[in-house]
Structure formats: structure tokens, C-alpha cells
Copies of this chain bind each other. A is one copy, B any other.
Amino acid sequence: MLSALPLAGIPEIESGADLGALLVAALAGSGEPPERGSAEGAAAGLQSGDVLVIAHKAVSKAEGRIRRLSEVRVGARARALADEQGKDPRLVQIVLDESRSVVRAAHGVIICETHHGFVCANAGVDASNVPGEDQVVLLPRDPDAAARSLRARLRELTGVAPAVVITDSFGRAWRIGQCDVAIGCAGLAPAEDWRGGTDANGRVLRATLIAIADQLAAIADLARRKDGNQPAVLVRGAGRHVTAQDGPGAVALVRAPAQDLFR
């Protein structure tokens, strides 16, 4: 049985916030009644094997990774690209600042490779769920490092070190709509490798490498409402993927450009 419970009562995150302490407080208060008679009692304290999945915006805000459109100086490249794609030139400048390269720009969409190596729309720069019309939120500086440090803080506060996954919503090349994926993680084996393993018939499984961290991100996203101020979700029942070591992080799920067939 796998379960996912959004944590209630997390306030708007300010720059410099102690996210670990806010999560611990929310965990203590999240005895939500279950939906329609389903599973019960999955909150109230961390257990070994738990996974805490956190929307990156909470992390970015705590890091102060916010920029004001009114303070942007727009360069020539941003202006041209903004014209071409019908976007706000100030936003495009910020997107370029966050990007290593522009992978595609068409149909009003700018797909970038971020400095971290993620390929996503607008380099992950987002104007929703940020207070103030003038502000946009960037991706965390180093999401794996942020996950490790949040995990250490949770261990310090509670004695338990859950896996921590930091997420964003990414589009997909050939499918409509976004799914949440892991942009940072700690204490988790981000992929499960069944290559060379066998199926229930003893037959060798081929090319089966499961993106565990991304599927955890998807679960958390489905458990919460986008308008519900629920940046954190407690996932229970995925303990076999939780590791004592912090592990390689979500960067392990980034496909190297040399292996990329679509760039």
C-alpha cells in the first residue's frame, strides 16, 4: 500500500525561512480526515522509510530565488526572442539568464536547457504561486544540495531522515500536459534498475530502468490541489527506495546530451 498525504498549514515561504522547521510543524498538525472512508492515520510524525515530496517553489522562495520583472535589463537577444514568441521581454531575459542553451523556440514556447542540465519550458521560471504581479520564481540554485540539506535538517529536528524529493512540473515532447518530476532528491535511489533482472516467469527484463524519483513526484502532485497551498506531501509505503546515504540525487535522471536523440 502506497499513500500520499498533503501537509496542511504551511505558510507562505519567505526568503531565509527554515523550511525543515515549517515541515515538522506541518507534519505534527496534519491529521487530516481521510477522503471518503479510505486510508487513515498516515500523518503525525515521520517514520523511517517516509518520503517528503516538496514543490520546488517552497525551496526557491526560502533560497530567495525570486526576481522582479521591473528590475530586469533586457538585452537584444531576449528582445528578439520575446518578439518572435510573443512573450514579455523581461521574462525572456530571466529565462535566458537561467539557461545554458535554448533547445527549441516555437509556437510561443521556449524550451531551454537550464544551468543544471534540465530540459524544460522557460528554464523553469514561473510566475504562478508567487505573491505580487511583478515577481517570478526561479528553480533552486542546486536542487540536489537543497534536498540533502533539508534532509539533514529534518534528521536534526526529528531524529528521522526521510527521503526528500524536490519537484517541478515539466511538459513532455510527445504528450500533452505536464507531469511533476524530481529536480532534486536525497536519501533515495532515484532509479530502479531491473535490467538483467527477471520477470515473474523468470524471463530477463530488458531496458527496464524505472524513474522512481519522478514517479514519486507525480504521486505528490496528484495528491494535492494546485490552488491549495500544499507544497509538501508525505508519501508512505515507498520505503524500499529510501536509502541511508543521500545518494546520487536527481541529476542522475538527466540524460547526457550525447545520449539525447532529440536535440
Contacts and interface: CB of A to CB of B under 8 A. Distances in A.
Contacts of A18: none
A49 to B, nearest CB: 6
What size tier do the contact residues of chain A reach?
A: 35 or more
A255 interface: yes
Contact of A210 (B128, B177, B199, B254): B177
Interface string A66-100: 00000000000000000000000000000000000
Interface stretch (A144-152, A154-162, A212-220): A212-220
A64 interface: no
Interface string A211-238: 1101110110111001111000000111
A37 B32 contact: no
Given A34-B1, A200-B227, A226-B194, A174 B260 contact: yes
Contact of A236 (B36, B106, B261): B36
How many monomers of this chain does the complex have?
Answer: 2
A109 B261 CA distance: 9
A115 interface: no
Contact of A39 (B178, B221, B236): B236
A172 B40 CA distance: 35
A131 interface: yes
A237 B36 contact: yes
B179 A261 contact: no
B128 A199 contact: yes
Contacts of A222: 2, 212, 215-216, 219, 238
A127 B210 contact: no
A39 B41 contact: yes
Interface in A14-49: 32, 34-42, 47, 49
B41 A175 contact: no
A229 to B, nearest CB: 4
Interface string A102-115: 00101101010000
18 contacts: A1-B35, A2-B219, A2-B223, A36-B49, A121-B207, A128-B199, A128-B206, A129-B200, A130-B203, A173-B262, A176-B255, A178-B208, A178-B209, A179-B215, A199-B226, A205-B227, A210-B221, A214-B218
